[in-house]
Chains A and B, each alone.
Chain A
Amino acid sequence: MQTNERGLRWLETGGSLTVYLEGDIDHHSAQTIRSRIDTKLFLTRPEELVLDLSRVNFMDSAGLGLILGRFTKASELGVGFRLSSPNRHIQKILDLAGMERIVPITAARSV
């Protein structure tokens, strides 16, 4: 796993770019996270963008907006998109939004 100068943790394997989100995702933190992911996405242009949620402690509806925004951005670039490893609290809000019907969610940390 690598960390760039802006504090984003990611892993590139094959055509996949996995970004490891961490801590609390709310309206306050979403803006910074968004620009970090988008910058990396534009520079890397992977086949697939994976957002790994295993290290996320807290997420509210701002996180839903962040995820859907990245999904839209990836689709515009012809990049595949997937969520990975949400804990059960994060899964609850994903379920509420029907996220599984929009983007694939994989449970195990399959990279």
Chain B
Amino acid sequence: MNEPESRRHLLKVTGLRAAAGGKEIIHGVDFEVHGGEVHVVMGPNGSGKSTLAHALMGRPGTTVTAGSVTLDGVELLELASWQRARAGLFLALQQPIEVPGVGLEAVMAEALDRPGDDRARGDDLGDRLRAEAAAIGFDERFLHRALNVDLSGGERKRNEMVQLGVLRPPFCVLDEIDSGLDVDALGAVARRLEQATRQWGLGVLAVTHFHRLLVELRADVVHVLVAGHIVATGGPELAEELEHTGYGAYAAS
């Protein structure tokens, strides 16, 4: 809606190194995502994509050893995960976690319970949840289930999207949001994201294995992550190239 203003948001990653299980997995990566942009990260299994996502969000067990991650100038690495979320970063997990007995609405109410934010209030939240669910064809009755409990893989991904839509952060990291989604759901999710980039200037960093998401999302920038290094950055044509050549060409680097 008011896109020029939101374009000012900036997520800046500089010289980021991260380790998990006692060994370094991310060996120094740099990139910048502006509000409203869609960046895609591709790379072979085990190249460190999820580790990068967790390093940004501050998952316990993923240790950042060097570098900086700023959101509009605020150093996220000095903040706890929940503060990073409140500073404006959202992470949709590759494998969303089951939390028995805990409802989506309760979690969203807590997440939005901040001074000066009235989105958590009363019926409002219920309406927003329903609207977001409708936008991506997510059955409303799933909104009342405990978080991710008894949900299929694709339903869990859509659940993540509903949360993104309710929280409306400036930036999101989507770890394989497309895996597990059927064709129709993929289309709906991509449309919702694309719309969000305009609606509130959402900046997207989407990890994926599939060219298809890129096309649907109209990605602006593609990063190729191999063995913990960004080995190439380019436009969507880069992904098209990968479709044909695979990651073999980057193996040596």
| Co-complex (A, B) | no
Which residues in A have some Cβ–Cβ distance to B below 8 Å? none
